[in-house]
Each structure stands twice: as C-alpha cells, then as structure tokens.
Structure 1
Amino acid sequence: MSNQVLKDKVLNILSNHKTGILSSVENNKPHSRYMTFYNQDLTLYTPTKKDTEKIEEIEKNPFVSVLLGYEEKGLSDAYVEILGSTSINDSQALKDQFWEESFKKWFDGPNDPNYILLKIQPETVRILNLNGEPPQELELKNL
C-alpha cells in the first residue's frame, strides 16, 4: 500500500473519531485517560486544564501515546496509534478554533486562562487491524 493511501486511511480514521486514549508517563508507568482530539494534518490537539496532573507528567516526560478509532465490537475496526512528543499550546486562535460549548463543564469560555491545548507532534503513526493485515507504519519523512 502506498504511503499516500495509508495516510488517507489514517486521516479518515482521525476525522471520524474525536474521542481516544492519551497515555502519558507517571512514575515510570503508563497513565491513560480518554480525551477529545482534533487533527491538523497528523498533528493532534487536545484541550485540557493547566492545573491537571497530565501537565505535570508531560513536563517531566513529553512522550505520549494516542489511540483513536476502534469502536463497536472491534473485530474489524481499524484504529490509529500515534507516538509523539507533546507541548503546551495556548494560542488563542487555536483555542477559539477548537472550542466547543460542551467545554463549559470545565472552562468559563475560550478565553479562560486555565484552558490550554496539548499539541502532539507524531513521531510514529501506525494503523492497526486494517482488514486483518499486520500493522502498517506511515512514513512521516516522506509526507
């Protein structure tokens, strides 16, 4: 499968699945939680509060794993695994772009100083469970 076809499949999964699992490292062990993800050409953004433990974890170790896709019974659902490094982004333009009214449970609005985004820059992108084929890795340097 060509790298472009593989990228298209990955982007399709990312565009159809906003809820996934973010795993960071806490005390040298994985720490996972469900998050909402937004994709901009394989770079992911996820909203969070400044004062959460995940921020402390990422400041100590910026490497994370994200799983997106895989719903229903999971028997034939392709999903994406992204390994990458994370940084904090508090760009007001991006916060406005990704703001959703459902965030009002946690934030006063898109200008809330506690509302930030985690930016996940992929280093490895794999698609798994694709029609029974072995996992396939997207070559990022050729994109």
Structure 2
Amino acid sequence: MSQNEVKEQVLKVLDESKVGTLATVKDNKPYSRYMTYYHEDLVLYTPTSKKTEKTDEIEENPNVHILLGYEGEGYGDTFVEIEGKASIEQSEGYKKKIWNDHMKDWFDGPEDPNLVVLKIEPVGIRLMNNEEDSPQTLDL
C-alpha cells in the first residue's frame, strides 16, 4: 500500500471515529481515558478541563498515545495508533473551533475559563487491521 493510500485510510478512520483513548504517563505509569476527538488533517484536538489530572500529566510529560477506530464489530476492525506530543491550548480560537452543544454539560461555553483544548501533533501513526500486511506505518 502506498503512503498516499495509508494516509487516506488513516484520515477515513479519523473522520468516522470521534471517541478514542488518550494515554498519558505519570511517575512512569500509563493512565488511559476515553476522549472525543476532532481533527484537521492529522492533528487531533480534544476538549478537557484545566482542572483534570491529564492536564497536569501532559504539562509534566507531553508524550501521549491515542487509539481511534475500533468499533467492536470484530477482530478485524480497522483502527489507528497515534503517538503524539500534546500541548494545552487556552486561546478562544481553539475553543471556538471545537465547541459544540454536547459540551454544555461540562462547560458554560467556549469562553469558560476551565475549558482547554489538547492539541496532539502526531510523531508516529500506524494503521492497524486494514489488510494482510498490517500494520502500515504512515511516514510523517
């Protein structure tokens, strides 16, 4: 599979899968939780509160790992593994970019001072379970 085809498949998973895991590291131990994701090309964004443990963990160690795409239909479901560097974005531009009405349960609006956006720049992406020669690594 060509790199263009791998990227197309990765983007398809990102388009179709909005919920995935986010793993951080604290004291050499992994911590995972489910998050909602939005993307622009291969860069991922996810909202959170600045009062969460994950923001403290990312400030201490920005290396994260994300799984997106496995829908539980069977062993052959396609998914992506993303290794990334996370940053905590507090500008209203980022907040407005990802704001939707589902977030009203947790935040007062994009101007809520507790709302931050985690921006994840990929450093490694693997496409899993898409063909016989899985995994496929996307060159970045």
TM-score grouping bracket, smaller chain normalisation:
over 0.9
Partner of 2:29: 29
Question: Does residue 117 of the first structure (1) align with residue 117 of the second (2)?
Answer: yes
Deviating above 4 A after TM superposition, structure 1's stretches of 4 or more consecutive aligned residues are none
1:132, 1:67 → 2: CA distance?
20
Q: Any stretches of 5+ residues in structure 2 without a counterpart?
A: none
Report the TM-score when normalising by structure 2. 0.96
SS of 2:111's partner is coil
Alignment RMSD: 1.0
Question: Does residue 9 of the first structure (1) align with residue 9 of the second (2)?
Answer: yes
Partner of 1:40: 40
Partner of 2:67: 67
Question: Does residue 20 of the first structure (1) align with residue 20 of the second (2)?
Answer: yes
Cα 1:74–1:26 shift into 2, 3 Å: farther
Which of 100-109 and 129-138 deviates more? 129-138
Q: Following TM superposition, by how much is the alpha carbon of 1:106 offset from its aligned partner in structure 2, in angstroms?
A: 0.9
Report the TM-score when normalising by structure 1. 0.94
Q: Following TM superposition, by how much is the alpha carbon of 1:122 offset from its aligned partner in structure 2, in angstroms?
A: 0.4
1:83, 1:120 → 2: CA distance?
9
1:94, 1:5 → 2: CA distance?
29
2:20, 2:96 → 1: CA distance?
21
- Conserved in 2, the CA contact under 8 Å of 1:84 and 1:123? yes
Partner of 1:85: 85
Question: Does residue 129 of the first structure (1) align with residue 129 of the second (2)?
Answer: yes
**Which AA in structure 1 matches 2:33?**
R
2:74, 2:24 → 1: CA distance?
24
1:5, 1:112 → 2: CA distance?
40
Measured against aligned partners, the alpha-carbon deviations of 1:82-112 in whole angstroms (never above 9, x if no partner) come to 0011101122122112111111111111110
